[in-house]
């Protein structure tokens, strides 16, 4: 693990590291914010998963989360959104919604993607093991959040691994990739034509049989240009109602898909996770 950058921030430290990933078979970068409380002992940790085209840096630079994380005493870990490197496969036409920057937090089974695209294992196993070994975080107190494709990742990962997280939240998540163009392209490419395999990465399908109903918060802007075709938030509302899953799902008037939306509500998301990380 190699330190790439370090900055003092709200009494804590914002750091970026590179490391060689065994699950992704390439070098990866991640960012971590350590609040000032980390100097005195272990702190809980919030994992943030970003959306299409993003790296580990977008949330760090645009969301304004460090102030609230420092006040709450919570570390924030931001991984990249896909494997990277010269030998890592990418979309042949350079599309933004598949390949580099678009790992969709799945374990690919189809060539050539299955050589590197194991983001699900990276997020659920390898990266937490590295963070727990190298930083003063409490392995028993983890939560997860994300935006858009990362919201999809956060929700599906939490629903499949409820023992690993105290809570989950999302901004403008892709709630049913089996029913939208972004998801159908990604799942078809990474997992092949067996649509039964797709269901394992679909929040609405996972909610139906969730063994544990983790605390869940979702914020969605009603002026989001992707709401109707790609995000389809109402599907999650209906799935939760049918499953008796009491998630908090808010439709925010006038907000779009941008980081201006995230910055407007990130304080409430950190406060939401704080309640469960410190309970």
Alpha carbon distance 164, 149 (integer Å): 20
Strand partners, 146: 49, 170
Alpha carbon distance 169, 216 (integer Å): 5
- C-alpha torsion angle, residues 37, 39, 40, 46 (rounded to 10): 40
Contacts of 91 (CB under 8 A, 6+ apart): 98, 99, 100, 102
Query: Is 202 annotated as catalytic?
Result: no
Query: Is 118 annotated as catalytic?
Result: no
Helices (H) and strands (E) in the chain, counts: 10, 9
Q: For the chain, give the longest Cα–Cα distance.
A: 51
Catalytic pick from 147, 257, 269, 273?
257
Q: How many CA atoms lie within 13 A of 141 on its CB side?
A: 18
Catalytic pick from 143, 145, 148, 169?
148
Catalytic pick from 147, 202, 224, 273?
224
Locate 246 and state its tokens: 């009491």
Are 75 and 137 within 8 A, CB to CB?
yes
Nearest to 153 by CA among 226, 84, 80: 80
Does the N-terminal peptide bond of residue 185 adopt cis geometry, omega within 30 degrees of 0?
no
Residue given tokens 């304004």 in the structure block: 64
Give me the helices (H) in 26-83, please.
57-62, 66-72
Locate 145 and state its tokens: 């959040």
Query: Is 116 annotated as catalytic?
Result: no
Catalytically active residues are 148, 224, 257
């Amino acid at each position: 693990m190699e330190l790439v950058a370090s900055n003092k921030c709200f009494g804590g430290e914002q750091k970026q590291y590179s490391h060689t990933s065994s699950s992704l078979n390439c070098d990866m970068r991640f960012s971590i914010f350590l609040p000032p409380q980390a100097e005195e002992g272990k702190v809980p940790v919030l994992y943030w998963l970003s959306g299409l085209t993003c790296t580990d840096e977008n949330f760090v630079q645009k969301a304004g989360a460090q102030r609230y994380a420092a006040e709450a005493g919570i570390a924030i870990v931001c991984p990249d959104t896909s494997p990277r490197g010269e030998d890592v496969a990418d979309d042949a036409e350079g599309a933004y919604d598949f390949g580099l920057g678009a790992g969709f937090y799945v374990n690919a089974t189809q060539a050539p993607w299955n050589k590197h695209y194991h983001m699900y294992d990276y997020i659920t196993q390898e990266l937490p093991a590295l963070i727990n070994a190298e930083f003063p975080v409490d392995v028993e107190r983890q939560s997860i959040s994300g935006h858009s494709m990362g919201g999809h990742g956060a929700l599906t990962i939490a629903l499949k691994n409820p023992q690993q997280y105290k809570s989950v939240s999302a901004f403008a998540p892709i709630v049913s990739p089996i029913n939208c163009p972004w998801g159908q392209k990604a799942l078809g490419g990474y997992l092949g034509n067996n649509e039964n395999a797709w269901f394992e990465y679909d929040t609405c399908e996972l909610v139906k049989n969730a063994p544990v109903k983790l605390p869940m918060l979702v914020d969605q802007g009603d002026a989001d240009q992707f709401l109707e075709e790609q995000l389809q938030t109402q599907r999650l509302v209906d799935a939760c109602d049918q499953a008796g899953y009491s998630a908090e799902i808010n439709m925010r008037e006038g907000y779009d898909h941008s980081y201006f939306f995230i910055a407007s509500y990130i304080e409430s998301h950190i406060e939401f996770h704080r309640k469960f990380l410190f309970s």
